[in-house]
Amino acid sequence: AFCIPVYIPYNLTGRWMLGKGLCKVWLIMDYLLCTASVFNIVLISYDRFLSVTRAVKYRAQRNMTRQAVFKMVAVWALAFLLYGPAIIFWEAIVGDSVVPAHECYAEFYFTWYFLLSASTFEFFTPFVSVAFLNLSIYLNIHHRTKNMGACAEDDVKTQRVRKNLRDGAAWSVFFVKTRKVSSSEPTAISAVIEDIDDVLSPSSCVGANNSQIFMQREKFSPNRENPRLCRRTQVSRLSRDKKIAKSLAIIVCIFGICWAPYTLLMIIRAACSGECVANYWYEITFWLLWLNSAINPFLYPLCHSSFRRAFSKILCPKRQSVQPHIEAQSC
């Protein structure tokens, strides 16, 4: 909203006509907004990582507003500290300005070692971090999917046993061993059997080891916890986490595609003082950078229900106060 409208006339005319003070303000805003966009991607990736790999801890800390505000303030503060002081004080420290009159770019524009150091914190470290977080999420989901497959095999075996169910009951056969006694003494069986419907006749059930076979009818209570319900919950959570991983992968891929060309060309261009890279290539990568910052606000609500609710509260506060929000799944 600020950087692009100011840059278009400057790019078309080739002259900066707004003064040196506004030039520094524009540069600070440009670097600040782009860098904050990158750091926010890292913060969102870390948030999604916690929601998938440490779900219980994440849900316990999700409503801590103070912690969330601190993280957002830290992102913007770090984004400013990376380039802001250099833009403001570089000329005073060096003692001279290298920017010609009627032009506007940072004093460190051709200082390759500073740009390499800054790019390490602005692009390379964030990109490696979000790649690691995405890989961790993928491995976590893969491990859980594998465990769900093993549980599915157990469920198949359980279903085979349940085929013997009839009218909510099943027959189970067990042996009760008796001690050998004389014919004049009663048979002592040290077992208490509840709810026995049928006992096979001793003449047909007593074997060489004087054991009796009992058939007991086991009642299945309808109020007993159903393991299928628990399994459905696990499947639902796994499906949600897969959608989170997919949406996060889209954001990270777009981030890498938009930022990698600019970062590499910026370092190369600074190393050769702008003579080895055509200006139009640099302009293309520069617009890719802005494109990433422009589409991120649309990607976040598209891929996360929490962002959709947040944007809805900001844009339509009256509607949110009248209609209670309904929990939705991530895309």
194-211 pLDDT per residue, tens:
343 344 444 444 444 444
Residues of the chain with pLDDT > 90: what percent? 24
CA 255, CA 37: separation in Å to the nearest integer? 10
Bridge partners of 211? 177
What CATH number does the domain located at 3-155+229-322 have? Answer: 1.20.1070.10
- CA dihedral sign of residues 58, 61, 65, 68: negative
Give the pLDDT mean for 14-25. Answer: 92
> Whose CA is closest to 302, among 238, 254, 236?
254
Burial of 206 (0-12, 13-18, 19+ CB in 10 A): middle
pLDDT score for 172:
46
pLDDT score for 60:
76
> Whose CA is closest to 94, among 108, 82, 83?
108
Q: How far is CA 113 from CA 83, 107, 121, 278, in A?
A: 14, 13, 13, 21
Instruction: Assess contact for 84 and 32: CB atoms under 8 A.
Output: yes
Give the pLDDT mean for 232-243. Answer: 71
pLDDT(75) > 80: yes
pLDDT score for 45:
87
pLDDT score for 184:
45
Confidence label for 25 from pLDDT (cuts 50, 70 and 90): very high
Can you read off the two tokens belonging to residue 230?
A: 């628990």
Q: How far is CA 312 from CA 1, 305, 307, 315, 325, in A?
A: 20, 10, 8, 5, 10
Domain positions in the chain are 3-155+229-322, 166-219
Can you read off the two tokens belonging to residue 32?
A: 């600040």
pLDDT(323) > 80: no
Q: How far is CA 107 from CA 2, 19, 96, 162, in A?
A: 21, 15, 9, 77
pLDDT(27) > 80: yes
pLDDT(248) > 90: no
Tokens 């004087």 — which residue? 210
